Amino acid sequence: MAETIFSRIIDRTIPARIEHEDDLCLAFHDVSPQAPVHILVIPKKAIPSVAHLEASDASTVGHLVLVAAQLASRLGLTDGYRLVFNCGRDGGQSVDHLHLHLLGGRSLSWPPG
């Protein structure tokens, strides 16, 4: 997989405001937030998108969701939040590295776009 802005954040060649890091993932604040809380949770493993997931990635994706839920609790998103995986250009994916958006801190409308 080609180098992305996210792989450069993982290897610390680009700075980020990190909220969480463990062996499997990194979570950091989006530089262009769409809500008062907008955190990206990314796997350290290079996976281009949801469309590229394999059965062996199931535990990693589950871990991303659990980390996002823990962050939502820690950040006080008691009135709710949204978790979003965008897939492909038409799905709104702008970086070819799997990432989960955690959005909250305001009422979120539906449909999203």
pLDDT digits (tens, 9 = 90+) for 75-93: 999 999 999 999 999 999 9
pLDDT tens per residue, range 17-67 = 999 999 999 999 999 999 999 999 999 999 999 999 999 999 999 999 999
Show the DSSP H helices in 1-113 as ranges.
5-10, 58-74
- Catalytic site positions: 99
**pTM here?**
0.95
- What tokens does 26 get? 């990194």
Query: Are the beta carbons of 40 and 85 closer than 8 angstroms?
Result: no
Other C-beta atoms closer than 10 Å to the C-beta of 69 total 14
Q: Cα–Cα distance between 39 and 56 in angstroms, integer?
A: 25
Q: Which domains does the chain have, with CATH numbers?
A: 5-104 (3.30.428.10)
SS3 content of the chain, % helix, strand, coil (to 5): 30, 25, 50
**Cβ atoms of 90 and 20 closer than 8 Å:** no
Identify the residue whose tokens are 């980020």.
16
